[in-house]
Amino acid sequence: MPKLSEVTGGKLKLSQVTGQPQESKQQKYARLLAENERRQPSDPMHPSNNPTTGMSGYDKFMAGMGKSVNDTGRGLGQIFGLSNSADVELDRQLDGPLMETGAGTAGNIVGQGLQMATPIPAGAAVKATSWAGKAAPYVGAAARSGAFGGLQGVADGESRAGNIGQGAALGAAGQGIASATGALGRGAIARADPYTAKLAQQAKQFGIRLGVPNVSENPFVRTVASQMERLPFSGAGKRFAGNQEAVNRAVGKTIGLPNAKRITPDVFADAKATIGNQFNTLSARNNLSLNTQHVTDVKNVVDEATRLGGAEFGSSVRNWANDLFSRVDANGSIPGAAYKSFDSKIGKAMAAGGEKAMYLGNLREVVRDAMDASISAGDRAAWQTARKQWAALKTVEPLVAKSSNGNIPPSQLMGRVTADGAGKSRMAAGNGGELGDLARIGQRFLKDAPNSGTADRLLVNGAIGGGLFGAQQAGIIDPQTAMLAGGGLLANRGLLKLLNSRALTAGEGKAINGLSKLGKTAPKLLPAAASGPTGIPIVGGRQATPEEIARDEELVRRFRQGR
């Protein structure tokens, strides 16, 4: 037998060491097949032997978790030269039966996920991804999953760089799932800007139920939803009626009618009479007292009308001021009834509009402020309430007059609360009160689609009509077609119900919250579920050759025999 020193160049052959001809791979494969046929069932290598037989689901799950730790250890050993690809392949052969069980696979996925979830010091994590901005969660998930993929064992034909790339990609994809489900769980309102979110909360307090199409600022989304709502059996009518009733109740509350489902002329007349009677009662027991400052304020209004409006306007406003002062009694006060008469008359004079009305309005505000200050402490709250209710009543009066069914169109409220300069000033300063809030809600959430929607409606109608036309051309306009159309309408109703649900709109509900929590695990579990031979099946490739099969079986046999 030759010595090792006699071998120069090339590789040392087995025949040079043993003195026997080297066995070919074909011969080895044939020999191993023959040995396999002679094995007894008690032999661990017998094909019918399954090491998981008799194991409980819990045992398989825990064994799967243990496998995940062993795989990482094997990968680390491979990196430091303590093991090789043959060891990785052998582990996979031995773990094959376990990974064919659901519990074992689940345990392995959970085990990998827990390893990827190993805490990283918060300061280090923030520092490492601070450059990424909004992409930081994706970068972090990709880095974590990519690093874990790089620690796994690599068999023949595999690449550690490929494992890192696959892990990074799946980690980022998992973060995408987590972000999407998280956003879904928070609801459309939470994703809106702070002002819109606050307005939506006010709508909820008024009993107005919003849906995703209401909150969305995308014109196409709102237009498509609007067209879907026009289809028969969409369920939109009930939803519209509920929101309209909520608006009517909210408007009614501002004029002293908290339970008014509709504000019809007779209901409106009752509210007007009730507020008027309240003014009569309070005015009867409270007098207007004009102090020096009030008189000065009246004089300033007259001077301003003369200086800016001219002698004619100045004279007219002075006559109104003199009429007010002429009502002062022997006690130096103006009786409440006289004040109420003055306020009513000057209001009618202002109805003509124009610059004169502006100056008269300034005079009326001065006198009203004086009366507010003259009301006794016991009547002050009731007086302020009556003032607000009367102002709201006069604001919505034109809408009630034009309504044919007692409904107050929420989209038209903005035009009324900003009908004059004072109203515009109040709305701009955020002092529009409940009517102002309702007007903003109506403009933002309860208006029709923001454009004509011709192209979008043609698209939606074309999809529906085209389907029916195609069915007609195919000769299926029969009961089946009716079922098809009915199914489409049911699907439309179901989709609208989902889009307008509190779950998608406000993130309320156990199901949506559960989905959101489950999605948070995706950056860890998705790479774990898709990694290695236990994850997403990979189709294609080539069939193993007899030589490769023989090599794998030989490795297993030697391992079992301790060689």
Tens-level pLDDT at each residue, the chain (563 residues): 444 344 344 443 444 444 555 555 455 545 655 665 555 555 555 555 677 777 888 888 888 888 878 888 877 777 777 777 777 777 777 777 888 888 888 888 887 777 777 665 544 544 554 555 566 677 777 777 777 777 777 777 777 777 777 777 877 776 666 555 545 445 567 677 888 889 989 998 999 988 777 887 777 777 777 766 666 666 667 888 898 999 999 999 999 998 899 999 999 999 999 999 999 999 999 999 988 899 999 999 999 999 998 888 899 999 999 999 999 888 889 999 999 999 999 988 988 888 888 889 899 999 999 999 999 999 999 999 999 999 999 999 999 999 999 999 999 999 999 988 888 888 999 999 999 999 999 998 888 654 455 544 554 555 555 554 455 445 544 555 545 555 665 666 666 566 566 655 655 666 656 655 665 665 656 666 665 543 433 333 345 556 656 666 666 566 556 55
The first and second tokens of residue 147, run together, are 């690093």
The first and second tokens of residue 357, run together, are 């009305």
Within 8 A by CB and 6+ apart from 74, the residues are 83, 87, 88, 91, 153
Task: Give the gyration radius of the chain's Cα atoms.
Answer: 41
pTM over 0.85: no
Domain ranges in the chain? 1-37, 58-187+507-536+555-563, 193-285+388-464+492-504, 287-374
Predicted pLDDT of residue 393: 95
Mapping DSSP to helix (H, G, I), strand (E, B) and coil, where does residue 408 land?
coil
Q: Phi/psi zone of residue 373: left (φ > 0), alpha (ψ -120 to 50 degrees), beta? A: alpha
Q: Do the beta carbons of residue 337 and residue 284 sit within 8 Å?
A: yes
How would DSSP label each residue in 212-278?
HHHH---HHHHHHHHHHHHSTT-SHHHHHHHHHHHHHHHHHHHTT-TT-SS--HHHHHHHHHHHHHH
Calculate the CA 189 to chain-centre distance: 6
DSSP-derived secondary structure letter, 353: -
Predicted pLDDT of residue 196: 87
3-state secondary structure 297-343: HHHHHHHHHHHHHCHHHHHHHHHHHHHHHCCCCCCCEECHHHHHHHH
Please tell me the total number of residues recorded for the chain in this structure.
563
From the list 545, 370, 299, the residue with the least C-alpha distance to 307 is 299
First to last CA, the chain: 24
From the list 328, 341, 337, 364, the residue with the least C-alpha distance to 282 is 337
Mapping DSSP to helix (H, G, I), strand (E, B) and coil, where does residue 333 land?
strand
Range 322-347 burial, b when 16+ CB lie within 10 A, else e: eebeeebeeeebbbbebbbebbeebe
Q: Do the beta carbons of residue 299 and residue 362 sit within 8 Å?
A: no
Q: How distant, in Å, are the alpha carbons of 25, 38, 553 from that of 30?
A: 9, 13, 12
Q: Do the beta carbons of residue 70 and residue 88 sit within 8 Å?
A: no
From the list 206, 181, 246, 215, the residue with the least C-alpha distance to 499 is 215
Within 8 A by CB and 6+ apart from 545, the residues are none
Q: Do the beta carbons of residue 286 and residue 336 sit within 8 Å?
A: yes
